[in-house]
Each structure stands twice: as structure tokens, then as C-alpha cells.
Amino acid sequence: FNPGQSLHAAEIIEIAGTGGFAAKETAQQKTFRREFIVPYALIGFYGVINENWAKETGLTKKDVDLLMEALWHGTLALHSRSKAFHHPRLLLRFDFTNEVQCGYFLDRIELEHNMGDERRIRSPKDYTVKMDDVLETVERRGLHLARIQCWIDAGLKLSPENWRERLAALLAGKPDALTVREF
């Protein structure tokens, strides 16, 4: 998995202050402190499970299912002073029947907003996630598609509006191969 990156310009706020952190009751040391907070950022991650390494390491379907659970529910359990209200918004998984190269999906996602300066974005109500290029990339490789999982926050707006139908069409004849979970 790659390091996460904001899918839009995010505001970074510096907070300066002083503090006394004494090791003993009689200590008089004081210090200046600086911390940086991000009021809101939609952070994207991208990862690939390599089928060859999976065979070599003994990775199982159950392991991958646990990874999906951990990616979604683990994000909810994160605590950080610099980032408030961690919340997973969208998790997509495409399983292919062979070694299909799709490239870097994060470059294929756009945020549509009318905030002017996108650093003013503060919640999913402020934007729509445009997935057109992601869908087109997967559609071009549809013959090799075995399964799709989509986990989505109920408050997230996706475009195009018919994204579910387009995913289902890719898996025509395999009704159990598409899983969409709303949270």
C-alpha cells in the first residue's frame, strides 16, 4: 500500500503554545511547542495484492477478508491529535482472474465541489467523488474481472449516479460477485 495522500488541497493550521513538562515536582523547565492540525482531508490509499506473492506467503481468502475489515473498521478506531474524526468513506476492491495492471487509481479520482478554495472542504457534504475514470479503467479490463467489493459511507456522494449499475454490468451472470456495503 502506498502512503496516503489528500485527494484535494488541505488546510494545515499551526498551533503554538507553551508548556511545562516537569520530571520532578521541583523542576522549573518550560518549553515552547508547535503542532499542526488538518481540519479536513479526504485521504486516498492504493494497494495491490500480488497473486504470486500471495501464493508464496500462503495468503488466504480469509486473510484478505480480514484485511478489508481492518482497513474499514481500523480507521474508525484511530486516534490522533492532528486529525479529527477519522472516518472511512470508500473502500473498493477489484479481484481479477489474472495479473491485470490497472495503474494508479488515485490519479483517476476527482473531487467536484463549489467551495472555491478546496482547502475550505470540511465534510463529504462539500464534495462529490467522481469515479468515471476508475470505472472506465475497470470496464476496459472487465473480461478478467472476478469480483468487486464496495464499502461506502452512506453520506458520501459518488458520480456517476449509475455507478452501481455499471459495476453490476461488469459482472453480468455473476450476481454474487458484487458486494456493496453501506455504513
How far, in Å, CA of 19 to CA of 32, rounded? 6
Question: What is the reported pLDDT for 22?
Answer: 65
Residue 5: per-residue pLDDT? 94
Other C-beta atoms lying within 10 Å of the C-beta of residue 29? 10
The 10 Å Cβ neighbour count of residue 122 is: 12
pLDDT of residue 51: 86
**What does pLDDT average to over the chain?**
90
Helices (H), 22-174: 51-57, 61-76, 132-139, 163-170
Distance CA 41, CA 44 (A): 9
Residue spans of beta strands (DSSP E) within 82-134: 90-96, 110-113, 127-130
User: Can you tell me whether residue 96 is helix, strand or coil?
Assistant: strand
Res. 82: pLDDT tops 70:
no
Report helix, strand or coil for 83.
strand
CA 15 to each of CA 6, 18, 55: distance values in angstroms, whole numbers, following the listed order: 21, 10, 48
- Confidence category of residue 23, pLDDT binned at 50, 70, 90: low
Closest CA to 178 of 98, 92, 108: 92
Q: pLDDT confidence of 18, banded at 50, 70, 90?
A: confident
pTM, 2 dp: 0.85
